Structure 1
Amino acid sequence: MKVTIERSAFLKALNHVQSVVERRNTIPILSNVLIQARAGEIRLSATDLDVEVIETVPADVAQGGATTVPAHMMHDIVRKLPDGTQLQIEQGADTGRVSIFAGRSRFALQALPAEEFPGLTAGEFSNNFAVQASDLKTMIERTRFAISTEETRYYLNGIYLHAVRAEPADKLRAVATDGHRLAQFELALPLGAAGMPGVIVPRKTVLEVHRLIEDRDASIEISLSQSKIRFGFDGIVLTSKLIDGTFPDYERVIPKHNDKVMDVDTKLFAQAVDRVSTISSEKGRAVKLHIGSGKVVLTVNNPDSGSAEEELVADYDATDIDIGFNARYLLDIAGQLEGDTARFMLADAGSPTVIRDVVDDSALYVLMPMRV
């Protein structure tokens, strides 16, 4: 194998694929990136056996071939080379070594046989559809914070992606919950997504896809089967296993009849929560909201450090209510609202509260209250 490639193009591709490689591996080949050289291009592949990323980049291929080298080490070498450098990657008769030449620098890396590199067999995909990159990125941003990190409830460790019937048009909906809060985002159902299975996309896959999306105007091809999902865009193909589990009936926990409505300035509310929560304990993080006619009063009482109180103007004309929330969760949700006004739909101090952006009905959030 003998390949010449420009440093920045190679670094960009390496940066994309190496992030799925775990730093510690009991299987040596999984620490490596597969390099396949053929006419006019090289293909880089990396996997952790659950997620696989493949990227193809143009290159001057004098002699084709395939090998694997340590992913993070190769990335660090290329990252530290001067910008504009031309890299030459060679493997001769000694298949256990790969040489890298760049200007006056020369590196020799241990290599493992390409034949040993595992591929993520995808099988047949039952549904294929395209989504605008900006829509997919927004969908991930609005829901990922609510993904559970509790490994015992593994079926909550991802985003539930599914088609729903709605008027006037069906929707593609993403839902994430950790049992304390729920985030839901939807967009128009793409052509080809009708009849798709409801799938749980793992947290790592969600974060990788979000990281890889650089061109928000691109179109992303999504393919689905019962056990795998594939994203294709900009010369990159990411294939992932799905979480094998049943996502809970989340619609049962979304209140339909919360009749106490409070509208408050999103930015001012978030800043007030942030200020008063400075006093709260790291463990509890509880902030109490006293909602009355035309105002909301935020208070925090911490026996160890003191108390804080702040009053805000709010549009509210129902009966007074006192309710407590985790300050961190309130800030996470407020951070997703792009409009000027946040709408809280409440029932009582012990029931879930629905939070929405007044000017955007594509997202919905549910927050469980705390005792304060």
Structure 2
Amino acid sequence: MQLTIERAALLKALGHVQSVVERRNTIPILSNVLLSAGRDRLSFAATDLDMEMVDEAEAMVHTEGQITAPAHTLYEIVRKLPEGAEVSLLYSGDDPRLVVQAGRSKFNLPVLPAGDFPVMSADSAGARFSLLKEDLVRLIDKTRFAVSTEETRYYLNGLYLHTVSEGGQALLRAVATDGHRLALAETPAPEGAAGGPGVIVPRKTIDQVRRLLDDGSGPVEVQVSAQKIRFEFGQASLTSKVIDGSFPDYLRVIPKGNDKRADIDNAVFAQAVDRVSTISAEKSRSVKLGLDNDRVTLTVRNMEAGQGVEEVEIGYSDEPFEIGFNARYLLDVAGQIEGETATYMFADPASPTLVLDPGDPGVQYVLMPLRV
């Protein structure tokens, strides 16, 4: 294999695929990126056995061929090369090394046979649809903060992507929960999405997709089957296994009869929560909200650090009551609100609270209260 490629093109494609590779691997081949040269293209592939990332870039190919090389090392070398450099890659069967050369810089990297590289099979079954980049970004950004990181409840370690029908309209919905809060975002379902199964997309896959969306433009092709999900971003594609489990019946958690309504200036409220929570105990980070006639009083008590109190004007005319929340969860939800105000729907101090965004009616958040 022998070829020449621009540093910028090589760096972009390598940046996409190497992020899939785990830093520590017990299987040596999984630390490598598969390089395939042919027809004026250099293709890249990396995998962790649960997810496979593929990309390609234009190159001047002198000799076609395949080999694998250490992904992170190769990426760091290319990243540190001067901008505008022409990079040559050379591998001949005589020398078990990949030669990377640019200007006066020359590196020899160990290789492993391309035949040992595991390739993830594609599923032809399932639904296939095209989704606008902006819609996918919104579905991910509005919900992924609520994905659980507890490995014991593995079925919550991802984003539940599925279609529903409401009022005669098909909606593509993303839901995430960690048992303490829930985030839901939906968008009109694109053509072809309605026939697909509901899948739980792993957290790592969601993070990779979000990173790729920052680099790409135009619609994203999505293919969903019961075992796998595939995202295509132009030349790049990401295939991932989905979590084998049943997502809980989240509709039972979303409160329907909360009748105490508070309209709150989101930015002012978030700043107040951030200030008073400065002295909260790090584990619970609990803040008590006292609602009463167009104002809310935020109180945090810490036996060691003292007490913090702040009052914020709100739109509230129901009976006075107190409720406690994890301050970080309040701030996470406040960070997703598009409009100036957020609408909080309360029932009582022990029941879930529903948070709505008047600036984006397609999202809902649920917060479980704390005892304070």
TM-score by length of 2: 0.99
Partner of 2:278: 278
Partner of 1:175: 175
Poorly superposed stretches of 4+, deviation over 6 Å: none
Partner of 1:57: 57
- The CA deviation at 1:168 is 5.0
Partner of 1:196: 196
Partner of 1:42: 42
Paired with 1:73 and 1:217, the residues of 2 have a C-alpha distance of 28
Paired with 1:71 and 1:359, the residues of 2 have a C-alpha distance of 43
State whether residues 133 and 215 of structure 1, in contact with CA within 8 Å, keep that contact through their aligned partners in structure 2: no
Mapping of residues 84-99 of structure 1, within 5 Å: 84-94=84-94, 96-99=96-99
Q: What whole-Å deviation, never above 9, does each CA across 1:177-228 have from its counterpart, x for those lacking one?
A: 0000000000001100112111000000000000011256410000011100
Partner of 1:213: 213
Mapping of residues 1-372 of structure 1, within 5 Å: 1-94=1-94, 96-214=96-214, 217-372=217-372
1:14 alignment partner AA: L
- Which consecutive unaligned segments of at least 5 residues does structure 2 have? none
The SS at the match of 1:29 is: helix
State whether residues 3 and 63 of structure 1, in contact with CA within 8 Å, keep that contact through their aligned partners in structure 2: yes
Inter-CA distance 242–95: structure 2 relative to 1 (3 Å threshold): farther
State whether residues 95 and 113 of structure 1, in contact with CA within 8 Å, keep that contact through their aligned partners in structure 2: no
State whether residues 134 and 216 of structure 1, in contact with CA within 8 Å, keep that contact through their aligned partners in structure 2: no
- Which consecutive unaligned segments of at least 5 residues does structure 1 have? none
Paired with 1:305 and 1:254, the residues of 2 have a C-alpha distance of 36
Paired with 1:95 and 1:52, the residues of 2 have a C-alpha distance of 29
- The CA deviation at 1:234 is 2.5
2:144 alignment partner AA: R
1:58 alignment partner AA: E
2:56 alignment partner AA: T
2:62 alignment partner AA: A
State whether residues 132 and 216 of structure 1, in contact with CA within 8 Å, keep that contact through their aligned partners in structure 2: no
The SS at the match of 1:278 is: helix
State whether residues 353 and 368 of structure 1, in contact with CA within 8 Å, keep that contact through their aligned partners in structure 2: yes
Paired with 1:164 and 1:123, the residues of 2 have a C-alpha distance of 23
Paired with 1:294 and 1:107, the residues of 2 have a C-alpha distance of 68
Q: What whole-Å deviation, never above 9, does each CA across 1:314-361 have from its counterpart, x for those lacking one?
A: 101111110000000000000000110010000000000000112211
1:180 alignment partner AA: H
State whether residues 342 and 356 of structure 1, in contact with CA within 8 Å, keep that contact through their aligned partners in structure 2: yes
The SS at the match of 1:214 is: helix
2:329 alignment partner AA: Y
Inter-CA distance 248–95: structure 2 relative to 1 (3 Å threshold): farther
Q: What whole-Å deviation, never above 9, does each CA across 1:135-178 have from its counterpart, x for those lacking one?
A: 10111111010000010100000000010111252100000000
TM-score by length of 1: 0.99
Q: Once superposed, what is the RMSD of the aligned Cα atoms?
A: 0.9
Higher deviation after alignment, 120-129 or 259-268:
120-129
| Equivalences, count | 372
- The CA deviation at 1:95 is 5.6
- The CA deviation at 1:121 is 1.0
State whether residues 38 and 61 of structure 2, in contact with CA within 8 Å, keep that contact through their aligned partners in structure 1: yes
The SS at the match of 2:248 is: coil
Paired with 1:141 and 1:368, the residues of 2 have a C-alpha distance of 21
